Each structure stands twice: as C-alpha cells, then as structure tokens.
Amino acid sequence: MDNFYDRGNLKNVRKLRELKPESYNKFIEFSQSIFKDDALSNKVKQLIAIGVAHTTQCPWCIDVHVNAAKDLGATDEEIAEAVLVAMEIRAGGAFTHSGIAFGLIAEHEQGHKH
C-alpha cells in the first residue's frame, strides 16, 4: 500500500460492514445521532469535530467535517479558529508534559547524588 491516505482505501471499510454489520450499523447510528441539533447546533458540533480531527490527524475526518461545516454555513474564519484551537491544545499538551520531563530530570539527579 503506497499511500495510506488514498481515498480509494475507504472502500476497504466495506469489509468491516461485511464482517460486523450490527456493530457497524450501531456506529453509524451513533454518529448520526451525535450531530443532530441539540444543546449545540450541528454547525458548532462540526466545528468541534474539525478541531478534534486535526488533533487526531485524520484526513478523512477533516474532509467530512469541513464540508459538513461549510454546508451548514460555517465561515472560513470559524474553521480557521477551530484549527487554531486544535493547534493550541496539541502544543499545550507538549507544554504541560514538560513538567514530567523536568520531574524525571530532578529524580535522575537525586538518584546520582552521593
């Protein structure tokens, strides 16, 4: 497989539907129920999904949710902000995990003192 992200690979998902149709259909039903207007509008949920898709780095999710958001009237600026929130969260994770690194450094230094 030369390119894991080739759109043609999506046809392979059919195998999951063939092997586990009940679970597959339950997932599809769950997915559809999540994006219905409720306390949050579908548009807002699509913008959240864009941010999450950028943190999980799923190109197909980015494709689906950007198109859905645009269909629901999302502006380019709203989509840009969703992407920026994802960028901040990913960077924030590295930033806060630095506390682990420096804690380990301190433990390492204490273990080497005589």
> Does 49 lie in the same domain as 105?
yes
Q: Which residue range is the domain that position 5 belongs to?
A: 1-34
16 lies in the same domain as 70: no
Residues 50 and 97 in one domain: yes
Q: Identify each DSSP E strand in 47-114 by its residue range.
A: none
CB contact at 8 A, 82 and 76: no
- Are 46 and 27 members of one domain? no
Contact (CB, 8 A) for 86 and 52: yes
Taking only the tens of pLDDT, the chain with its 114 residues reads 778 788 888 889 999 999 999 999 999 999 999 999 999 999 999 999 999 999 999 999 999 999 999 999 999 999 999 999 999 999 999 999 999 999 999 999 998 765
3-state secondary structure 27-40: HHHHHHHHCCCCCC
Domain containing residue 51: CATH number: 1.20.1290.10
Question: How many Cβ atoms are within 10 Å of 79's Cβ, its own excluded?
Answer: 19
Residues 98 and 47 in one domain: yes
**How far is it, in rounded angstroms, from Cα 28 to Cα 39?**
21
* Whether 64 and 94 share a structural domain: yes
- What are phi and psi for residue 4, nearest 5 degrees? -60, -30
- 59-71 helix and 42-56 helix, angle to the nearest 10 degrees: 160
In the chain, the number of structural domains is: 2
